[in-house]
Amino acid sequence: MTMTSGGWNGRAQNGAMAEDKDPGRPLRRSFTTAYKEAILDEYYGAPEKSGERGAVLRREGLYTSHITEWRRAREAADGAALAPPARAARTAEQLEVEKLRRRNERLEAELAKTKLVLEITGKAHALLELISESAASDTKPTK
């Protein structure tokens, strides 16, 4: 049985396939802190030149960049950075406030633009009146 990259991307840590809402789009894999720690321990526990480290990566479908990133995160924060970033859940009211704030900013920018256009139009009208009066007074009546 061969497994495509889409299959690897949809595989959960226990080997079960995650529900795929859009079959044409691969799912991004996510790893738990415990899984990352276990893989790092196994990887660095293997002898360096024996090829066992590569076998761990192939078995788990990982890249050396995963190991490097996880190791740096563990060293930087003693394991706390290995956890996925916590996202604050926003309520429907907060989402509505944010939406209205963006709309208000857009409308204020549009209003400022409209005011500027009206100011320029008024100045152009005044200038044209001046030119018109000047042209009218320069012409001499002919008989």
- Summarize pLDDT for 53-93 with one digit per residue, the tens: 889 999 999 998 999 998 888 888 764 555 666 677 888 99
CA gap 31, 7 in Å, rounded: 16
Q: What is the mean pLDDT of residues 127-133?
A: 92
Q: What is the mean pLDDT of residues 7-29?
A: 58
Of 35, 130, 141, which is closest to residue 82 (Cα–Cα)?
Answer: 35
Q: Are 101 and 59 in contact (CB under 8 A)?
A: no
Q: What is the mean pLDDT of residues 23-50?
A: 86
4 confidence band (pLDDT: 50, 70, 90): very low
Please classify residue 82 by burial: count the beta carbons closer than 10 Å to its beta carbon, then call 0-12 exposed, 13-18 middle and 19+ buried. Answer: buried
CA gap 109, 114 in Å, rounded: 9
Quickly tell me which residue has 């907060």 as its tokens.
94
Q: What is the pLDDT of residue 96?
A: 94
Q: What is the pLDDT of residue 140?
A: 62
